[in-house]
A and B are shown apart, each in its own frame.
Chain A
Amino acid sequence: MSLSDLPDLAALDKDGALEEAHAGLTRAGFIVGSAIGGLALWLPSSASAAKIPASDQDVLNYALVLEYLQAAFYTESERAGALKGKAKKAATTVGAVERAHVKAFRDLLGKKAVGKPQFDFQGVTEDQKKFLKTAVAFEDLAVAAYKGQARRLKSKAVLTSALGIHTVEARHAAWMRYLNGNVPATAAFDRPLTRPAINKIVASTNFIVQKKPKTSSRRKPRYTG
Chain B
Amino acid sequence: MSHEFVENQAVSRRRVIRRAAVAAGGALAAATAVGAADRLHAQPSNEKDAKALNLLLLIDRAEVAFYTAALENAGLSGELEEFAQTALGHEREHVSYLEGALGSAAEDEPEYDFGESTSDVDAFARSAAKLEDIAVGAYNGQATNVSPGAFLAAARIVSVEARHAAWIRSIRDGDPAPNAVDTAYDEARVRRELRELGVPA
The answer on a CB contact under 8 Å between B140 and A160 is yes
Q: A151-B148, A184-B170 are in contact. Are A157 and B22 (CB under 8 A)?
A: no
Q: What residues of A have a CB within 8 angstroms of the CB of B17 in the complex?
A: 24, 96, 99-100
The answer on a CB contact under 8 Å between A93 and B160 is no
A-B contact pairs, 9 of them (CB 8 A): A42-B26, A101-B24, A107-B28, A147-B156, A151-B155, A161-B181, A171-B182, A172-B176, A189-B160
Whether, in the assembled complex, A165 has its beta carbon less than 8 Å from a beta carbon of chain B, the answer is: yes
Q: Total interface residues on A, using CB and 8 Å?
A: 68
- Chain A contacts to B: CB under 8 angstroms: 17, 21, 24-25, 28, 35, 37-39, 41-45, 48-49, 51-52, 92-94, 96-97, 99-101, 103-105, 107-108, 143, 147, 150-151, 153-161, 163-175, 178-179, 183-185, 187-192
Number of residue pairs A-B, CB distance < 8 angstroms: 243
The 6 closest A-B pairs by CB, nearest first: A48-B32, A188-B93, A157-B31, A51-B35, A42-B25, A170-B162
- The chain A residue sitting closest to B145, CB to CB, is A156
Secondary structure at the B interface, as helix, strand, loop or mixed, is helix
The answer on a CB contact under 8 Å between A174 and B162 is yes
The answer on a CB contact under 8 Å between A143 and B166 is no
The answer on a CB contact under 8 Å between B177 and A166 is no
- Chain B contacts to A: CB under 8 angstroms: 13-18, 20-36, 38-40, 86-87, 89-94, 97, 136, 140, 143-144, 148, 151-153, 155-167, 170-171, 175-177, 179-184
Residue from B21, B158, B164 whose CB has the most chain A CB atoms within 10 Å? B21
Q: What residues of A have a CB within 8 angstroms of the CB of B15 in the complex?
A: 24, 28
The answer on a CB contact under 8 Å between B156 and A38 is no
The answer on a CB contact under 8 Å between B159 and A166 is yes
Q: Which of A41, A147, A160, A175 contacts B176 (CB 8 A)?
A: A175
Q: List 19 other contacts, CB 8 Å, given A25-B18, A157-B31, A172-B177.
A: A38-B25, A42-B22, A44-B29, A51-B35, A51-B36, A103-B25, A107-B28, A143-B159, A151-B148, A151-B152, A153-B40, A158-B28, A159-B40, A164-B27, A171-B165, A188-B157, A190-B159, A190-B160, A192-B152
Query: Cα distance A103–B40 when bound, in Å?
Result: 25
Q: What residues of B have a CB within 8 angstroms of the CB of A189 in the complex?
A: 93, 97, 153, 156-157, 160
Q: A96-B13, A97-B177 are in contact. Are A107 and B184 (CB under 8 A)?
A: no
Q: What residues of A have a CB within 8 angstroms of the CB of B152 in the complex?
A: 151, 192
Query: Cα distance A131–B167 when bound, in Å?
Result: 19
Query: Cα distance A187–B90 when bound, in Å?
Result: 7
Q: A96-B20, A168-B181, A174-B176 are in contact. Are A147 and B159 (CB under 8 A)?
A: yes
- The chain B residue sitting closest to A191, CB to CB, is B156
Q: A101-B24, A143-B159 are in contact. Are A51 and B143 (CB under 8 A)?
A: no
- Within the complex, the shortest CB–CB distance from B79 to chain A, in Å, comes to 9
- The chain B residue sitting closest to A29, CB to CB, is B15
The answer on a CB contact under 8 Å between A192 and B16 is no
Q: What residues of B have a CB within 8 angstroms of the CB of A51 in the complex?
A: 32, 34-36
The answer on a CB contact under 8 Å between B156 and A168 is no
Q: What residues of A have a CB within 8 angstroms of the CB of B162 in the complex?
A: 167-168, 170-171, 174
